[in-house]
Structure 1
Amino acid sequence: MKYRNRYCKKAKNTYPLLVKCTNCKNKIFLYQKGGKGNLIKMKVDKIISSQSSIAELPNRINCPFCNAPIANLAQYKGEDYYWIIRGSVMVRKIDKKI
């Protein structure tokens, strides 16, 4: 991954997820997920690394390889989240330490 998030810190009971684009199958994010369930929204602080820079918080994230829309920025309980567009990503749990 190209860009590391300097604000990301390891939290208890979390595991890394590899997020890929559905269209081109390229890796886009490495995300720190906690709990059960599907990936619906991504908290900006928990993105470990990404292919495109998220430092300026763009309103929409597109795949850097095929330019397909991936997620939209929104506020939820006073914090910034990227809401995943349904069917645009594939996720896989990886077994390495952060």
Structure 2
Amino acid sequence: MAKPKKKLPERSADIICAKCKTILFKYKKGGKGSLVKCFKERIVVDYTETPCECPSCGNVFAREALVRGTPAYKIISGKAAMK
């Protein structure tokens, strides 16, 4: 499997908690599909104190994983959304 491209995509998205609508991080998303995973190297601004957990409501929205040999967050379906 190929690694993600080194050059960051132009499109920027705000990732928000689906439960309380708090901004979790700003992310450089490639493609037009739904939010399935977030590569850690593409996160521009991280608002979370503990990884994969919403700072205001404590909702666990993702799991840490290696995707194509690169550290990433695998989003749990329905727990986080793009804005």
TM over 0.5: yes
User: Would you identify which runs of 4 or more consecutive aligned residues in structure 1 move more than 4 Å?
Assistant: none
Offset at 1:86? 0.4
Greater strand percent: which structure?
Answer: 1
Structure 2 stretches lacking a partner, 5+ long = 1-5
RMSD: 1.8
Identical residues among aligned pairs (%): 33
State the distance in 2 between where 1:40 and 1:76 align: 11
Offset at 1:53? 4.7
TM-score normalised to structure 1 length: 0.71
- Of residues 51, 66, 73, the one that matches 1:82 is 73
How many residues are matched?
Answer: 78
Offset at 1:14? 2.8
TM-score normalised to structure 2 length: 0.83
State the distance in 1 between where 2:29 and 2:40 align: 12
Structure 1 stretches lacking a partner, 5+ long = 1-8, 93-98
State the distance in 1 between where 2:48 and 2:18 align: 17
